[in-house]
Amino acid sequence: MKCRKCGGQAVLELPRHNAAFCSADFQEFFRKQVAEAIRKHKMFTREEPILVAVSGGKDSLALWDVLIETGYETAGLYLDLGIFDYSVESKAKCEGFAAARGQKLIVERVADAMGAPIPEVQKATRRPTCSACGLSKRYLMNRAAVEHGYPVIATGHNLDDEAAVLFGNVLHWQTDALSRQSPALASTHPKLARRVKPLYRLSERETAAYAFLRGIDYIVDECPFAKGATSIAHKQILDRLEEQSPGAKHNFLFGFLEKAKGYFDGAESVTLQQCAVCGQVTTGEICAFCKLHDQVKRRQAGPLSSTREGDRHE
């Protein structure tokens, strides 16, 4: 197998691109894909500081690495969810990465903001852990960006993540979610940071290869609550399709973004205002994070107050 660029020994084959690359040319290809994502969706300029949300996994650390290498001004944001050893280890990976590269890492603890770590928060809600976790992550990411003066938050979502989310949204024709599915979400309120996904053009296999070739030390284990998640089932279905016809995921996601997304634009029109309790943006009077925080406090106050009828159906 020869590198498409230099003819040297290839280390990675990319059937989707009908190509193979040596290590140096693959890294170049990877950086070009990120640059193309940033350019095409006007994600950020050279003058803007970027807050990179890092989980300690391969995708977000690969993203941070590319942005540092390309010369962007960045800081990392790690959200400590308090999920047992998984959080301890993933935090250590982010701290190690930041220290080795002399970068700033901001750490926010869910337990500080919510009064309890994610496994405890989940018990107060009776909803899947990922739903309380996702809500907390979105809230704390935006709050940190606004408080520390970062206009834009970059996450490590890759092509596989985005294709799987699209698949789930299409299965249930969730038109409001389809209208929001984009590699770059604009700010619609002074207290809302832009959100961008510069890795959306790169597959999970490609980000894993990049992280490996760059010698990035990342956490391999998944979150213990991820087992059995529907998003994983959707990924497996798409993996099977990809195996049979390379490029299927790419065509599905890019076809949506280029040809279909326009149909859903405007499906969701919401006016944002500031939460009466915390001042963060929300569509209602009190934000979902503050409502959840309230549920957690009531549960902590005693078993009777946590089983009140209203709590179950909020």
Indicate the residue among 155 and 282 with the shorter CB distance to ligand AMP: 155
| Number of separate helices (H) and strands (E) present in the chain | 15, 10
Indicate the residue among 87 and 295 with the shorter CB distance to ligand FES: 87
Residues 230-289, interacting with ligand FES (CB under 6 A)? none
Please give the structure tokens belonging to residue 76. 């990392």
Please give the structure tokens belonging to residue 306. 């946590």
Q: Is 184 helix (H, G, I), strand (E, B) or coil?
A: strand
Q: How far apart are CA 170 and CA 165, in angstroms?
A: 9
Exposed (0-12), middle (13-18) or buried (19+): which is 107, by Cβ within 10 Å?
Answer: middle
Contacts 24+ apart (CB under 8 A), 304-313: 306/124, 312/126
Q: For ligand AMP, which residue of 16, 143, 157, 195 counts as binding (CB under 6 A)?
A: 157
Q: How many residues bind ligand FES (CB under 6 A)?
A: 7
Indicate the residue among 10 and 83 with the shorter CB distance to ligand AMP: 83
Q: For ligand FES, which residue of 1, 88, 99, 226 counts as binding (CB under 6 A)?
A: 226
Residues 241-280, interacting with Zn ion (CB under 5 A)? 275, 277-278
Exposed (0-12), middle (13-18) or buried (19+): which is 228, by Cβ within 10 Å?
Answer: exposed
Q: In what order do the strands lie in the sheet with 184-185?
A: 105-109, 74-80, 50-53, 152-154, 194-196, 184-185
Judged by beta carbon distances under 5 to 8 A according to partner kind, the member of ligand FES, Zn ion, ligand AMP, none in contact with residue 256 is none
User: From the CA atom positions of the chain, what is the Rg in Å?
Assistant: 20
Is there binding between residue 77 and ligand AMP (CB under 6 A)? yes
- Minimal distance in Å, beta carbon 51 to ligand FES? 19
Site mask, ligand AMP, residues 111-150, x = CB under 6 A?
Answer: --------------------------x-------------
Is there binding between residue 10 and ligand AMP (CB under 6 A)? no
Q: How far apart are CA 60 and CA 244, in angstroms?
A: 28
Q: For ligand AMP, which residue of 37, 79, 184, 213 counts as binding (CB under 6 A)?
A: 79
Is there binding between residue 235 and ligand AMP (CB under 6 A)? no
- Minimal distance in Å, beta carbon 215 to ligand FES? 25
Is there binding between residue 133 and ligand FES (CB under 6 A)? yes
Contacts of 160 (CB under 8 A, 6+ apart): 203, 204, 235, 238, 249
Q: For ligand FES, which residue of 130, 170, 241, 286 counts as binding (CB under 6 A)?
A: 130
Interface positions with Zn ion (CB under 5 A): 275, 277-278, 287, 290
Residues that bind ligand AMP (CB under 6 A): 53-55, 59-60, 77-79, 81, 137, 155-157, 161
Can you give the binding site for ligand FES, defined by CB under 6 A?
A: 81, 129-130, 133, 223, 225-226
